[in-house]
Structure 1
Amino acid sequence: MPKIQEVLPKYLQIANHYRDQITRGDLKPGDKLPSERQIAEEWEVVRPTAEKALNSLEGQGLVERRQGSGTYVLTQKVAVRARERYARVRQFGKIYAPGWYAVIKSAELVAAPDHVAEALGVGVGDQVIRRARVTHNDADLPVEMSISWADGSLAEVAPNLLVAERIRMGSVGYVESVTGRTASHARDQFAARAATDEERETLGLSGTDAAVLAYRHTVYDQDDKPLEYAEAAYPPGAWAVDQVYLID
């Protein structure tokens, strides 16, 4: 019979707390993390537990531990996952961390392709909103190509979706604000595949056999109806799948 999983070890809970702050951009490259002593006091754990947490972050390539100086956040190439973006919007009212930005390449009404129609629960060929963007990190490197799709019926109540400019609160937050619908849960799907010609050019990939991580993200509202469907491609070095779990 199914078992209730035990909570993660304390050092992983601490490491995940700081990892989330780093990937959201709350802690920026060069910022100094609390010392082992400070972490031990704040989290009410022993020093070796605090040390394991910092070592875990270092092993993930998120921080650098400098002898006699402290622990510092490294520049991140990893693209921010949707869940971190939602957390930033909820907390700060904006979707990107300082230094990160997106360029909206197009925003238009188009006929829904088969897979988009299925994801949004509309008919094939129905009008849907298509927003294409390229996201850059704080080192001005392109780390994500993405397209977000929404039901074309939103064009009248959410006209900014058809403007090729950034929406500060993100497209999902904007739709929430003008419709009263609430993003409740989401489904993420990942698969590695060969890069398209456009992806190789935009993301600066070399070689005809370059690979990307393809990402599909569907957001559902409180009534379990699709709110937005998005597709993204990440280059090598910016792959963003990171899971920590217990093995029974």
Structure 2
Amino acid sequence: MAGPKAFTAIADHYRQAILTGDLVSGEKLPTNREMCQRWNVAAATVSRALNQLAVEGLIRTSPRGTFVADDATVTAAGPDRLSMVQRLRSSLMEGETSRVTAAELVVPPLYVQDIFNLDPGDQLVRREFVVGRGKTRTMLVVTWHPAHFAAQVPDLLSTAPGKNAGLTSKILEATGRSITHARDDMHARECDAREASALGLRLGAPVLGGVHRWSDDEGVIEFGLWVVPTRVAIGYQYDA
């Protein structure tokens, strides 16, 4: 591999492996020489890729080599989480935990009603949970699902530990639906009081806010809103 995109491809490869858990905390990466041989690039290109991962807090270096950071302050966006659902039946990355703070049937805000094409007064399932890695809270998430899913997947209305990570897979299995369309949107803004409390931030602290929409030809299966603090890195790979 050669050209200006080579270091990006190398960084993307190892970033993806770390985010999905193929490389776990403390695991040693190949040597720089091995990377040069594998990717057919110069040493400077490998160094540039590793420097980028170090800036993101994903790796650490020592005289013994390069290792995945012990407590990398990273999280994943929609593409990687959807890939995890499809491959491993879990929406959480390796080393992540989640604490569900709400799971209920409610009448949603007007903009969410429009997304699901609801009539006034119709309900949806609303779930709220905090994602963490170790003692670090990395993401606040709210997901919305069609109300009739709750009858097919009762765990949607449960806040019990251990039932959150695989819910999307349970929905797909119970309903026979398949996620064929996905979209993410992100924007930087200031956090509100609820977000600040959940993530341990000061009110008005800068955050990255995002939404994901997973659907098929029948309609929206999951609409999610999430917030990530500035100290947390987020990224995903895509084909150019």
CA offsets 1:125-178 (integer angstroms, 9 cap, x no match): 2111011111111x2221111110011122222222112234365332221111
Larger RCO of the pair (alpha carbons < 8 Å, separation 6+): 2
- Within 2, Cα distance between the matches of 1:53 and 1:77? 18
Residue 178 of structure 2 is aligned with which of 182, 207, 225? 182
The CA deviation string for residues 168-196 of structure 1, in whole angstroms up to 9 with x for no partner, is 65332221111111112211112223222
2:206 to 182, 188, 211: 211
**1:213 Cα offset (Å):** 2.0
Q: Is the 8 A contact 1:11 1:52 kept in 2?
A: yes
Q: How does 1:106-185 map to 2 (within 5 A)?
A: 106-137=102-133, 139-165=134-160, 166-167=162-163, 170-185=166-181
When the two structures are aligned, how many residues end up with a matched partner?
236
Give, in angstroms, the shift of residue 239 of structure 1.
Answer: 5.1
SS of the equivalent of 1:175 reads: helix
Q: CA deviation at 1:26?
A: 2.5
What is the TM-score when the length of structure 2 is the normalising length?
0.86
Residue among 12, 17, 33 paired with 1:16: 12
- Name structure 1 gaps, 5 residues minimum: 1-6
Q: Residue 97 of structure 1 corresponds to which residue in structure 2?
A: 93
C-alpha deviation, 1:34, in angstroms: 0.6
- The sequence identity of aligned pairs, in percent, is 30
Shift of 1:44: 4.3
Give the deviation of 1:8 after TM superposition: 7.5
1:50-65 mapped onto 2 (5 Å cutoff): 50-65=46-61
* Counterparts of 1:8 and 1:177, CA distance in 2: 43
Runs of 4+ that moved beyond 6 A: 242-246
Could you say which residue in structure 1 is the equivalent of 2:67?
Answer: 72
Report deviation, 1:122: 1.9
- Given that 1:195 and 1:210 are in contact with CA atoms closer than 8 Å, whether structure 2 keeps it comes out as yes
Mapped partners of 1:200, 1:118: distance in 2: 27
Structure-2 change in CA distance of 1:10 and 1:224 (3 Å):
farther
**TM-score of the two chains, using structure 1 as the length reference:** 0.83
CA contact 1:26–1:97 (8 Å) conserved in 2: no
1:185-196 alignment runs, 5 A limit: 185-196=181-192
Question: What are structure 2's unaligned runs of at least 5 residues?
Answer: none
Residue 233 in structure 1 maps to residue 219 in structure 2: no
Structure 1 residue 114, shift from structure 2 partner: 0.5
Q: Is the 8 A contact 1:112 1:123 kept in 2?
A: no
Residue 3 of structure 1 corresponds to none
Q: Distance in 1 between matches of 2:49 and 2:208?
A: 28
Asked if the contact 1:155–1:162 (Cα under 8 Å) also holds between the matched residues in 2, the reply is yes
Please tell me the root mean square deviation across aligned C-alpha atoms, in Å.
2.6
Give, in whole Å, the separation in 1 of the partners of 2:103 and 2:228: 21
Change (3 A) 1:26 1:19: same
Q: 1:38 to 1:12 in 2, by over 3 A?
A: same
Residue identity opposite 2:211 in structure 1: R
Partner secondary structure for residue 86 of structure 1? helix
